[in-house]
Structure 1
């Protein structure tokens, strides 16, 4: 019989031994999350061999699903107080329920690949798998890319600009990460301008964490998306179909990504309504196309009127404790709603109801913001009031302490 280089993950005994190997070699040595890399059976020598459920060539498609399931089931049982996170190169429908994030594989550092990554991610998330990521700057950064040789990546102005634009795209991807083949990827290894811009976008990502984490709760409970094409939100607007370099991040933020070298202005289509430039608060009318600034240290970002964006302080990691308040940015022009979500960020206790919510409702007619609690089994606002700065875009900033009692704030 010919040998083959896959394991029979379809066999329960094999699945259990596979997890035990992972756990003994890594989890029991302090590893808390894993990069399983190629969960597809790459380079199978003989696809005609039998598995526990049938011939491999007939059952191979869900291989990745079962590999991630084996890891998830084993780790959840053995470490029930720790959430599972698994980065994997392959995916199958439903794989998100096993704590898996997929990335797009070993792509090259080129403008063409950056452009293709945007549409690839949008198609991936529209398939119902919400957590997707990519190698910022491309995996291959040597002669297979726009760099003529490996060391050139640190000084090549075109690659550094590509890396800057790709970094901006990564900031507004479901998972934000940088990675490269035989490559040092610390942001300080490149020029000062890139490092300054990278730090700006890292700070922005962390400041948006209340927005991102609350949106993740909507993914879990209401099948929402964190990254989605314009056509997903505006299906009856024919002009949104086929747009490959713009997308919605969450429900409210429209992102445009520059995919050409030395481009400093970008034509973007704005769906019906009013849109605020995130950087300047300038308002643009929707239902038409606009040429917008796209300086290298910024990417075009717009917030639709009738949005509430919770904006946190600058922190060095997501769960860093701080006494600084969350800023509630209200973009007027239409009624707006948002649910802020909080839990311990570590365990599965939220499945038992151990979480807290704050419902924010803005009335355009009354120019008021209603703040009231939803589920409150984690923070207990009456004992631990939460301070907010409330900013009406184009108006005043007010400070409020929320103790769980419903509050109406005139803006």
Structure 2
């Protein structure tokens, strides 16, 4: 009970003894909604909540949403009491207002791998951050690849999945927290064949942008800034930005335009329900003979009836002929397909399940929260003895639904089409924009067709931006960000505050950090490196700034820029550099 301070103290006591004492320095709190017995719909969540007992604060129906705030905030406070030399980091699955003060990042939950789900992650993240909770992330590659509407049950070596993963990875590069996570298939960067070089490039880009990102993270802490920004936040006067769901700003400089459709490899088609027309009882009536038991061992028969198909979706209570916690069901009859060729069954059901055809149990080639059987050859018009059974051992919501793929669906998967490797991008009005990859300048207030091959996504830089970029590194604290490549995008005045501290303690709260103001005067073509403000232990007293005035084919892309416009030895005093 996260509302009970004594419960939170007990939780911390065991976490401290069993994990913190052994050096654990980051924490993952799953199911902080709290999870309500596989309640997949809003209605089922409300139903289950009304059945729950009171918590320490009152009824769960009234005091539910702050659950994640209470558990993260109390845990944060306990960690802060232990030490100020290690920053708290908590990853959790739910959010409530104010949770940002508990050093908590929210991820979007256990998503399935399909392009529509991926596309929805963009407005989900943007809206989350616009609500005032600045740290958000999602499962790059999706948590499950063949369940929860995921369609890649063939596995992670399917080129269609690898293309999908790559596009998610590119989007994730520009999320507040960059994180690949999931089950069922390896996610290591070398597992993706011809797509691996692209993944490496975007991984390198994220690391090169760390001086930019870390400086903006300070702005979040000090000034309530938001890193992942809906376009209306920065371009309020341009009403065309209000309805754009698949573009966003990453800080003040970068406009990110993810690719959310396949271009190279057609993804598998979704399975479809096995409808009533395909079933007959053994005495040749429409449907299947169904037997319901109120135990999980098929012993206590409570109901026999004819079901037209297999479609159990009990998400607002179970019927009286089964118990709340245990049941078993068996369907039997005949299956009569209307197509000849390869079929595959797909069962959506959390508990154990078995499917039989002509007395033979079909093995599964994909098993997760849902299952896919091996392929079976069926003949149109032929009757097959059919049975499906399931057992359930837990309380709450229940789903048992039968889907399949037919020869027609498999044939559709084999069709190919040549797709354009571009996407439409809107450039907000009132500003000029640079293509990050080419350095080409474009006028705002127009829609363009941007190149979007698998190697990149459209990435635009607002004129007047200053972006500090560090060296190529393998991990965040490998070495100081020196030399620092500072890219200036002309066309407007601009400024950026470069921030540094010790990276992993709370001494910055005591004023131990440094800032350097960078100001660009576009008319005079001058960059002013302000006098360094502040200091901290280990601070580089002397820095090398490689100054780049970005433009066509210069100061572009991921790589370091050869022959900078200026190389400045900076010792902490103000310098004005003329371009």
TM-score, normalized by the shorter chain, greater than 0.5: yes
Do the aligned partners of 1:356 and 1:379 also contact (CA within 8 Å) in 2? no
Do the aligned partners of 2:140 and 2:165 also contact (CA within 8 Å) in 1? yes
Alpha-carbon deviation of 1:290? Answer: 0.6
Measured in 1, the distance between the counterparts of 2:515 and 2:240 equals: 36
Measured in 2, the distance between the counterparts of 1:27 and 1:218 equals: 29
Alpha-carbon deviation of 1:49? Answer: 2.8
Q: Using a 3 Å threshold, how does the CA distance of structure 1 residues 144 and 63 change in structure 2: closer, same or farther?
A: closer
Aligned to 1:157: 159
Query: Among residues 30, 34, 42, which one is paired with 1:41 in the alignment?
Result: 34
Do the aligned partners of 2:461 and 2:489 also contact (CA within 8 Å) in 1? yes
Query: Among residues 454, 461, 464, which one is paired with 1:296 in the alignment?
Result: 454
Do the aligned partners of 2:90 and 2:103 also contact (CA within 8 Å) in 1? yes
Aligned to 1:123: 127
Aligned to 1:268: 425
Measured in 2, the distance between the counterparts of 1:38 and 1:230 equals: 31
Other structure's SS at 1:370 match: strand
Query: Among residues 459, 468, 473, which one is paired with 1:310 in the alignment?
Result: 468
Tell whether 2:547 aligns with 1:390: yes
Tell whether 2:257 aligns with 1:100: no
267-276 or 50-59, which deviates more: 50-59
Q: Using a 3 Å threshold, how does the CA distance of structure 1 residues 80 and 210 change in structure 2: closer, same or farther?
A: same
Written as runs of structure 1 = structure 2, the 5 A alignment for 1:206-217 is 206-217=207-218
Written as runs of structure 1 = structure 2, the 5 A alignment for 1:164-313 is 164-191=166-193, 193-262=194-263, 263-272=420-429, 273-313=431-471
Q: Using a 3 Å threshold, how does the CA distance of structure 1 residues 203 and 266 change in structure 2: closer, same or farther?
A: same
Alpha-carbon deviation of 1:58? Answer: 1.5
Measured in 1, the distance between the counterparts of 2:186 and 2:241 equals: 38
Measured in 2, the distance between the counterparts of 1:40 and 1:147 equals: 27
Aligned to 2:66: 62
Query: Among residues 534, 552, 555, which one is paired with 1:376 in the alignment?
Result: 534
> How many pairs are equivalent?
400
124-133 or 14-23, which deviates more: 14-23
Do the aligned partners of 1:275 and 1:286 also contact (CA within 8 Å) in 2? yes
308-317 or 256-265, which deviates more: 256-265
Measured in 1, the distance between the counterparts of 2:481 and 2:171 equals: 30
Describe the superposition over 1:235-270 as per-residue Cα deviations: whole angstroms up to 9, x where unpaired.
121100110111000011001011111051111100
Alpha-carbon deviation of 1:147? Answer: 4.1
Do the aligned partners of 2:113 and 2:152 also contact (CA within 8 Å) in 1? no
Measured in 1, the distance between the counterparts of 2:473 and 2:439 equals: 24
More helix by percentage: 1
Q: Using a 3 Å threshold, how does the CA distance of structure 1 residues 46 and 271 change in structure 2: closer, same or farther?
A: closer
Do the aligned partners of 1:18 and 1:70 also contact (CA within 8 Å) in 2? no
296-305 or 156-165, which deviates more: 156-165
Do the aligned partners of 1:171 and 1:201 also contact (CA within 8 Å) in 2? yes
369-378 or 328-337, which deviates more: 369-378
Measured in 1, the distance between the counterparts of 2:110 and 2:477 equals: 31
Do the aligned partners of 2:502 and 2:538 also contact (CA within 8 Å) in 1? no
Aligned to 1:401: 569
Aligned to 1:12: 5
Tell whether 2:347 aligns with 1:345: no
Aligned to 1:28: 21
Measured in 2, the distance between the counterparts of 1:105 and 1:143 equals: 13
Do the aligned partners of 2:79 and 2:88 also contact (CA within 8 Å) in 1? yes
Alpha-carbon deviation of 1:402? Answer: 1.0
46-55 or 174-183, which deviates more: 46-55
Measured in 2, the distance between the counterparts of 1:79 and 1:118 equals: 36
Other structure's SS at 1:408 match: strand
Other structure's SS at 2:530 match: strand
Alpha-carbon deviation of 1:343? Answer: 0.5
Q: Which runs of 5+ in 1 are unaligned?
A: 1-6
Other structure's SS at 2:132 match: coil
Q: Using a 3 Å threshold, how does the CA distance of structure 1 residues 281 and 46 change in structure 2: closer, same or farther?
A: closer
Question: TM-score, normalized by length of structure 1?
Answer: 0.93
Aligned to 1:321: 479
Alpha-carbon deviation of 1:146? Answer: 5.0
Q: Using a 3 Å threshold, how does the CA distance of structure 1 residues 188 and 52 change in structure 2: closer, same or farther?
A: same
Other structure's SS at 1:141 match: coil
Aligned-CA RMSD value: 1.7
Measured in 1, the distance between the counterparts of 2:60 and 2:109 equals: 23
Alpha-carbon deviation of 1:168? Answer: 0.2
Other structure's SS at 2:449 match: strand
Do the aligned partners of 2:231 and 2:241 also contact (CA within 8 Å) in 1? yes
Q: Which runs of 5+ in 2 are unaligned?
A: 38-47, 264-419, 555-563
Describe the superposition over 1:74-96 as per-residue Cα deviations: whole angstroms up to 9, x where unpaired.
11111321100000001100101
**Larger RCO: Structure 1 or Structure 2 (Cα < 8 Å, ≥ 6 residues apart)?**
2
Alpha-carbon deviation of 1:145? Answer: 5.0
Measured in 1, the distance between the counterparts of 2:137 and 2:36 equals: 24
Q: Using a 3 Å threshold, how does the CA distance of structure 1 residues 148 and 107 change in structure 2: closer, same or farther?
A: closer
Alpha-carbon deviation of 1:25? Answer: 1.4
39-48 or 336-345, which deviates more: 39-48
Do the aligned partners of 1:147 and 1:153 also contact (CA within 8 Å) in 2? no
Alpha-carbon deviation of 1:183? Answer: 2.6
